[in-house]
Amino acid sequence: MINLLPPTIKEQRRYAQINRKLVKIIWLVVILIAAIGAVFVYSWYALGQNIQRLDDKLAQDTASSKKYGAIEANAKALAERLNTIEKIQAERSNYIALLQELAAVTPTDVYVNTFALDTTAGTMNLTAFAQSEQAAANFKNAIESSSR
């Protein structure tokens, strides 16, 4: 094909082709920047949602942790109370067993008038009446030989 156009028009056509190519490239760059911007905005939104979800989860876990802390404190207090109860029961004298043993070792001709037990000193005061000296001696020996 022979181009018979004057050189200025030829040059203008060449610049027009270059301009069309540049406009296409600029549009592609603009579209690419818009796509990158859209990805950036979506990522920012998604990260904000994720941060909000994690903050909510953290608040929930913190509340749950405080609840477990209160339960743990209650459990410790209960354990201390149980230990105190067990200690008191271990130190407490078994009055029924003590009276049953006293009844078992008391002869039939001896009468117990008063019975006082001092748990802090670990002593027992007894006032008894015996019908004979032999019954009083037997009662005294039976009490002394008793396991308590």
pLDDT in tens, 112-139: 888 887 767 777 788 888 888 888 888 8
Q: Over range 44-63, report the average pLDDT.
A: 95
pLDDT for 57 = 95
pLDDT level of residue 106 (50, 70, 90 thresholds): confident
User: Which residues have C-beta within 8 Å of that of residue 115, sequence separation ≥ 6?
Assistant: 99, 102, 124, 125, 126, 127
pLDDT for 33 = 97
pLDDT for 133 = 87
For the chain, the farthest-separated pair of C-alpha atoms sits apart, in whole angstroms, at: 163
Contact between 124 and 105 (Cβ < 8 Å): no
Query: Between 42 and 87, whose confidence is greater?
Result: 42
pLDDT for 91 = 67
Joined together, the tokens standing for residue 59 give 């608040």
Tens of pLDDT, residues 16-30: 999 999 999 999 999
Tens of pLDDT, residues 55-104: 999 999 988 888 888 888 899 999 999 999 988 777 666 677 778 888 88
Query: Between 55 and 109, whose confidence is greater?
Result: 55
- Crossing angle of the two packed helices 133-144 and 95-105, in degrees rounded to 10: 140
What percentage of the chain has pLDDT greater than the value 70?
A: 94
Query: Between 95 and 107, whose confidence is greater?
Result: 107
